[in-house]
Amino acid sequence: MAKRIKKTLPKERLPAKCRTGIPGIDEITFGGLPKNRATLISGIPGSGKTMFAMEFLIHGIIDFHEPGLFVSFEESETELIQNFVSLGYNLNKLIAKKQLIIHQIHIDKTEFQEAGNYNLDGLFIQLEDVLKKNKVNRVAFDTIELLFTHLKNKSHLRTEVQRLFRWFKRKKITIVVTAEQVNSTASFYGVEEFVADCVIILDTRVRSQVATRRLRIEKYRGSPHGTNEYPFLITNQGLFVFAITELKLDYSASESIIPSGIKQMDAMLGKNGFFKGSSILVTGPAGIGKTCIAAAFAQKTCERGEKCIFFAFEESPLQIIRNMSSVGIDLKYYITKGLLQLSCINPTSCGLELHLLNIQRAVNELKPSVVIIDPISNLKTTGLGEDVRSMLYRLIAFFKFKKVTSMMTSLVSLNPENLEPEESISSFMDVWIYTQYIQDLEKQSRYLLIRKARGMAHSKQVRELLIKDEGVELLDIYVYGNETITEQNKKMLKDILHKASINK
């Protein structure tokens, strides 16, 4: 049999990468932008093009000690400084240290003359002078179409854009160029995207009165890259991209067990608690006690001296503290100890991406061992079903990589046949705790069932769920003929049977 020859790509042929430092970008580009080449950032007005270009320079200075040049064809140095103050960037400090150079080129139609073959020789002379005075590794152009706005003969446009990009390549400088997206083209003239080595499209869309930003890598010569649309945000700390490609299923699996805070539930799980780092879903109709189950878990976590973050989408912190104290769960004590953080947010106050970012930031800052989200069903007011599902999947994966145990509650209907929550995430979860109402004899009672617990020989028994002054408790359920009888009504049943025997 002929031996198969394995083809390998020589290391010297792999394109060098220039790390951006922008959260998420280096992950989806598999290392950064093409080094010493041109990247085109395209988008509609307000999509974040200038932000991307400036952050590329700022992170280059702060994170990688590479000075940068920002060439502006619209905004002055003063305007750019004022605009970026709101994002916490002190451009004046970087300019004073000569780490950042802002060079404005004003092109006036009255001063613009087209004689013979149009070229960029005048621009190259200006840039050469700036580069001689300053050591620069990165350059950003904002926006390139203004260079050619008064050009009548566009036949030389592609040639001049190529000259511009090659000029920086010879000088071993990485350049980022912004361009206005027009209809189906990534740039105003429709040629820049063919010349650039990498093209990134920024987009903003509005659905259900909520604006969502998306980023897509349309082109990257000589390099693999993420091909999805990626949500991104512009926050008071800059640009943040949600790198979905990094969510690989290679996280660790702990053997450690943590208790639920409900003694009888621990016994039902078979290992006296949940696996550390697992994802837990608690579903049930309104008023059945989902928040109480979550609060009992939070209290038990804090009792061990571990930190917990409780995200609530329905009640205020004081309301949750008051309500839980009525069932013997003292959350206020652990808040004052710094072990519990209650974060209560109106779900409609922002989009799904910002909710995801806020949760991730809080986890990174507090480093909790347990995170609770109550209820995830309220997120459907913020986005479409598939968007909510995608957001929750990323969130669950994030918790697993951080080795954080997560518990999420979700509202389901009163119909016992409708088991699956609207978010359809039960398949993602390691443990699914299902609660529902049951009518036995003359009253309505709560019951609890563990429908799923990965890696555990869990009980499949239905238990009665009691919310008492002393906390949450589970009791046995009995069957008498075709009737389901709870522990509370066991005495009532005995009285009925006793009377029946006397009458006989």
37: alpha, beta or left, given left = phi > 0 and alpha = psi -120 to 50?
beta
Give the whole-angstrom CA distance, residue 392 versus residue 399: 10
Does the residue 167 lie in any domain?
yes
- Whether residue 89 sits in one domain with residue 223: yes
Which amino acid is residue 136, in one-letter code? V
pLDDT band at residue 488 using 50, 70 and 90 as cut-offs: low
- Given this model, what pLDDT does residue 175 score? 95
Cα–Cα distance for residue pair 347/261, rounded to 1 Å? 27
Last residue of a domain, one of 192, 227, 246: 246
Strands across the sheet with 308-312, in order? 340-344, 308-312, 370-374, 405-411, 279-284, 431-440, 443-453, 463-468, 471-480, 483-486
Q: Which residue has the tokens 């697992």?
A: 278
Same domain, 54 and 22: yes
Query: Which of 216, 246, 276 is the last residue before a domain boundary?
Result: 246
Q: What is the DSSP letter of 157?
A: H
Give the tens place of pLDDT for each residue, 181-232: 876 665 555 556 778 899 999 988 776 666 778 899 999 998 998 888 888 8
Q: What is the CATH number of the domain that holds 439?
A: 3.40.50.300
Helices and strands per DSSP (H, E), number in the chain: 14, 23
Which structure tokens are listed for 228?
């999805």
Q: Which residue has the higher pLDDT, 192 or 474?
A: 474
Q: What confidence score (pLDDT) does residue 210 get? A: 67
CA distances from 23 to 29, 52, 177, 235, 249 (A): 11, 11, 19, 12, 21
Nearest alpha-carbon partner for 179 in 218, 232, 142, 139: 142
Top-confidence residue, 503 or 293: 293
* CA 163 remoteness from chain centre: 39
- Cβ burial, residue 337 (10 Å; 0-12/13-18/19+): exposed
- Position 46 scores a pLDDT of 85
By residue range, what is the domain housing residue 447?
Answer: 257-494
In a domain, 500, yes or no: no
Q: How confident is the model at residue 5 (pLDDT cuts 50, 70, 90)?
A: very low
pLDDT at 276: 95
Can you tell me the distance from the alpha carbon of 300 to that of 476, in angstroms, rounded to the nearest whole number?
Answer: 23
Q: Are residues 67 and 166 in the same domain?
A: yes
The Cα 368–Cα 302 span in angstroms is 10
Three-class secondary structure assignment of 380-406: HHCCCHHHHHHHHHHHHHHHHHCCCEE
N- to C-terminal Cα distance for the chain?
A: 91
Asked whether residue 8 is assigned to any structural domain, the reply reads no
- What's the number of domains the chain is made of? 2
Which residue in this structure is represented by tokens 């949500």?
231
Largest Cα–Cα distance of the chain, in whole Å?
118
Do 234 and 271 reside in the same domain of the chain?
Answer: no
Residue 268 main-chain phi, psi, to 5 deg: -65, -30
Q: Count how many Cα atoms sit within 13 Å of the Cα of residue 353 in the half-sphere of its side chain.
A: 19
Residue 62 forms part of a structural domain? yes
pLDDT at 458 over 50: yes
Q: Which parts of 65-218 fold into alpha helices (H)?
A: 77-85, 91-96, 121-133, 157-170, 192-195
The pLDDT value recorded for residue 187 is: 55
pLDDT at 117: 53
- Domain presence at residue 4: no
- 356 contacts 242 by C-beta, under 8 angstroms: yes
- Would residue 83 count as lying in a domain? yes
* Whether residues 438 and 299 fall in one domain: yes
Question: Nearest 5°: CA angle at 119, between 118 and 121?
Answer: 140
Average pLDDT of 431-449?
82
Whole-number mean pLDDT of the chain? Answer: 83
Confidence of residue 500 (pLDDT cuts 50, 70, 90): very low
Peptide bond between residue 8 and the one before it cis (omega within 30 degrees of 0):
no
The answer to whether residues 175 and 207 belong to one domain is: yes
Report d(CA 277, CA 371) in Å as an integer.
10
119-128, 367-376, 462-471: segment of lowest average pLDDT? 119-128
Domain-embedded: residue 366: yes
Which is nearest to 266 in space by CA: 463, 412, 427?
A: 463
User: What backbone torsions phi and psi does residue 41 show, to the nearest 5 degrees?
Assistant: -110, 110
Contact 352, 382 (CB under 8 A): yes
Asked which of 210, 226, 246 is the last residue of a domain, the reply is: 246
pLDDT for position 426:
82
- 74 shares a domain with 178: yes
Strands (E), 166-286: 174-180, 198-207, 210-220, 229-235, 238-241, 257-258, 274-275, 279-284
Say whether both 233 and 337 belong to one domain: no
What does the alpha-carbon distance between residue 351 and residue 210 come to, in Å, rounded to a whole number? 6
Cis ω for the linkage preceding 375 (within 30 of 0): yes
My answer on whether 73 and 102 are in the same domain is yes
CB atoms within 10 A of CB 134: 15
Are 145 and 266 within one domain? Answer: no
pLDDT one-digit tens code per residue, 6-24: 455 454 566 799 999 998 8
- Same domain for 189 and 320? no
Same domain, 344 and 232: no
Q: Yes or no: say if 24 and 41 are a contact pair by the CB < 8 Å rule.
A: no
Mean pLDDT of 156-176: 87
Decide if 175 is inside a domain: yes
d(CA 264, CA 98): 66
Q: How confident is the model at residue 111 (pLDDT cuts 50, 70, 90)?
A: very low
Beta-sheet pairing, 33-34 with 17-18: antiparallel
Q: Tell me the mean pLDDT in the region 297-319.
A: 95
- How much of the chain exceeds pLDDT 90, in percent? 44
Predicted TM-score (pTM) above 0.75 = no
